[in-house]
């Protein structure tokens, strides 16, 4: 029997797998996708997440394949703009998620973890109230995979968390993300080393330059029954850019490269897992609205905590493990959870957006501090 079975080979699964394999655990990582694979994401890694990766010795090649990100440029609907640099010269990196995920997964395999792509998990296996593995399948086969510990790192639509009733979509907010890579040559006065967030009434547009001369554009907005715009995501993406007074000249004549991705509803609420045999990490443990780019921070630090919990379980059993992990997650993330909930509520309220934009003009240092907080800057 395996010591640890990890469902999902994204950043959370790969980091947990690498740390556990380094500690001597017998680890298998499975994922329905074939890697490297593309993933809808803002394609930026903030300074705090880079610091964590350096501390745990993973993704050492990130600086050679990414572009520097020195801060954020944020605009409001009424023309307010704030440029915030990360303090003390700290930087993030912009790179394609397929490259970051592949680096982390290769680190896990190098540490001794097994990896099996093309394995779709159907449901957890539960015996006497304890998760003992998963029922998984691929093309033409289905099998039970057993392990002493199962880590669900299978994303915001986690088959494990939803099937066990641990996850649900909240009634509000109900937003979808449309993202793609754009090739454009329009003029821009924005520093190429800044990420961008353009907050508008009820929606926002994230922009980041990525290696290869392309620009990542992601629009997050609500969907309502009967909304036909989502049927043509390429046109929706270009339409949002062309209608925006600040962005339309810059993206005039822009071309969307390949088909854009659409996911939603975004928000997922997850209650603390108290089922022996199972730990959750990454988006499976609660999906963060991508507005602040915190997803990778939660994934990587959360995976580190899950790996520590798994090692404790393998040595001492399950008693107290869930309570300790829940406490550690709250200590690590409670402030960021509150921060993200506040921003989600702000974007959903046009009057609040207007007030925040006016406040940014009067006291830009407040937003600059928020940028540093969102970037998990150490100083």
Residue 321: CB atoms within 10 Å: 19
Residues above pLDDT 70, as percent of the chain: 87
Pair 42, 293: CB distance under 8 Å: yes
Average the pLDDT over 46-66 and give the result.
91
Average the pLDDT over 73-82 and give the result.
77
pLDDT (0 to 100) of residue 360: 57
pLDDT (0 to 100) of residue 206: 92
pLDDT tens for each residue of 136-178: 987 788 899 999 999 999 998 899 999 999 998 877 778 889 9
- Are 228 and 274 in the same domain? no
Q: What is the mean pLDDT of the chain?
A: 87
Q: pLDDT tier at 7 (50, 70, 90 boundaries)?
A: very high
285 phi/psi in degrees, rounded to 5: -90, 5
| CATH number of residue 302's parent domain | 3.50.50.60
pLDDT (0 to 100) of residue 73: 87
CA nearest to 98, candidates 268, 221, 212, 234 = 212
pLDDT (0 to 100) of residue 349: 63
Return d(Cα 242, Cα 240) in angstroms, integer: 6
pLDDT (0 to 100) of residue 10: 96
- Are 340 and 354 in the same domain? no
- Are 106 and 204 in the same domain? no
Highest mean predicted confidence (pLDDT) among 97-106, 247-256, 290-299: 97-106
Q: pLDDT tier at 84 (50, 70, 90 boundaries)?
A: confident
- Are 309 and 180 in the same domain? no
- Are 15 and 108 in the same domain? yes
Q: How many domains does the chain have?
A: 2
- Are 178 and 234 in the same domain? yes
| CATH number of residue 73's parent domain | 3.30.9.100
Residue 130 lies in domain: 2-42+97-169+268-347
Coil, strand or helix: which one is 290? helix
Q: pLDDT tier at 63 (50, 70, 90 boundaries)?
A: confident
Evaluate if residue 105 carries a pLDDT over 70: yes
- Are 50 and 130 in the same domain? no
Average the pLDDT over 281-297 and give the result.
77
**Residue 251 per-residue DSSP state:** T
Evaluate if residue 266 carries a pLDDT over 70: yes
Q: pLDDT tier at 362 (50, 70, 90 boundaries)?
A: low
């Amino acid at each position: 029997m395996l010591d640890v079975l990890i469902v999902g080979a994204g950043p959370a699964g790969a980091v947990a797998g690498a740390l556990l394999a380094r500690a001597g655990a017998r680890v298998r990582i499975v994922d329905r996708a074939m890697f490297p694979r593309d993933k809808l994401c803002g394609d930026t890694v903030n300074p705090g997440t880079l610091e964590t990766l350096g501390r745990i010795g993973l993704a050492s090649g990130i600086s050679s394949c990414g572009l520097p990100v020195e801060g954020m440029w944020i605009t409001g609907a009424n023309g307010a703009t704030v440029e915030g640099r990360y303090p003390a010269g700290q930087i993030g990196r912009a790179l394609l998620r397929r490259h970051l995920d592949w680096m982390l997964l290769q680190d896990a395999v190098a540490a001794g973890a097994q990896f099996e792509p093309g394995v779709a998990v159907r449901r957890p296996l539960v015996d006497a109230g304890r998760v003992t593995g998963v029922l998984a399948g691929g093309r033409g086969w289905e099998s039970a995979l057993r392990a002493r510990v199962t880590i669900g790192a299978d994303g915001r639509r986690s088959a494990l968390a939803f099937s066990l009733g641990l996850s649900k979509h909240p009634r509000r907010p109900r937003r979808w993300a449309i993202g793609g890579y754009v090739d454009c040559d329009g003029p821009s006065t924005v520093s190429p080393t800044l990420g961008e967030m353009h907050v508008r009434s009820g929606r926002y547009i994230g922009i980041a330059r990525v290696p290869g001369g392309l620009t990542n554009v992601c629009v997050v907005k609500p969907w309502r029954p009967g909304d036909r715009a989502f049927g043509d995501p390429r046109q929706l993406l270009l339409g949002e850019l062309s209608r925006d007074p600040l962005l339309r000249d810059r993206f005039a004549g822009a071309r969307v490269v390949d088909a854009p991705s659409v996911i939603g509803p975004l928000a997922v609420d997850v209650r603390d897992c108290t089922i022996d045999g199972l730990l959750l990490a990454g988006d499976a443990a609660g999906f963060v609205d991508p507005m602040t780019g915190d997803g990778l921070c939660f994934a990587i630090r959360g995976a580190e905590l899950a790996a520590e919990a798994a090692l404790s379980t393998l040595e001492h059993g399950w008693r107290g493990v869930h309570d300790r992990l829940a406490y550690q997650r709250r200590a690590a993330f409670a402030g960021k959870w509150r921060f993200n909930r506040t921003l989600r509520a702000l974007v959903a309220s046009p009057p609040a957006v207007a007030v925040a934009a006016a406040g940014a003009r009067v006291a830009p240092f407040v937003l600059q501090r928020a940028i540093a907080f969102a970037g998990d800057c150490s100083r």
